[in-house]
Structure 1
């Protein structure tokens, strides 16, 4: 099982992020929202990014901590998506909560969100 999160899987393109917000579909398991979009021409199977709003978390330290939690929980659970679909996607995980949650809770919510994504994708033709 491959638990790494290499540079080629990171969502960095400003154009792609703008396209995600404009055309992407959303799924939410509080406090995480997933914005995803099916993409054709990209080198990685899934490109993923994380975001924590500055409006709710003024301190850069707390924003960075939450982003680290989101990235780590995605890295540990990304096999749920990789093993269940053949399509290529761009993901953006947004943190919606007002306070910092422990890693175990964030990881559990990420697992639920990725399972919900799989169910949502498998019911489509």
Structure 2
């Protein structure tokens, strides 16, 4: 798996996002929360992911966009380590549930913990 986050890997389907929040399971590594659901995609992609930051906690778009950039970068750098050996397809939404801003190192560390919990959760389902 390449260290990229292409358009094909981004979660954009409104129907799938709604289904994700209605039926999906979640794991938390504060200040990040990962909501996931097993699904199938037409294209040959294992994981489709999206990121979101609450407008309630971050009124300024500049702050929200910065945190989303940090989250996407942490996802891009870590996805190859965790999702290379995955066989089923998943839709993921990574939410920032904290109330204050953060630095990249903290987001990166929490993203690793989140992916560990996700793999543990999905391996127990099989």
Shorter-chain-normalised TM-score: which range? Answer: over 0.9
Match of 1:119 in 2: 120
Unaligned runs of 5+ in 1: none
TM-score, scaled to structure 1: 0.95
CA deviation digits over 1:72-116, x for unaligned, max 9? 000000013322320000000000101111100000000010011
The TM-score normalised by the length of structure 2 is 0.95
Q: Give 1:37 deviation, angstroms.
A: 0.3
How far off is 1:121 after superposition?
A: 1.2
3-state SS, counterpart of residue 125 of structure 2: coil
Give me the CA root mean square deviation: 1.1
How many residues align structurally? 125
Match status 1:86 vs 2:87:
yes
- 3-state SS of 1:63 partner: helix
Flag as ranges the 4+ runs of structure 1 deviating above 4 A: none
CA distance in 1, matches of 2:42, 2:97: 28
User: Contact 2:46/2:86 (CA < 8 Å) preserved in 1?
Assistant: no
Distance 1:101 1:27 in 2: 20
Partner of 1:99: 100
Corresponding position of 2:3:
3
Pick closer, same or farther for the CA change 1:3–1:41 going to 2, 3 Å.
closer
Corresponding residue SS for 1:3? coil
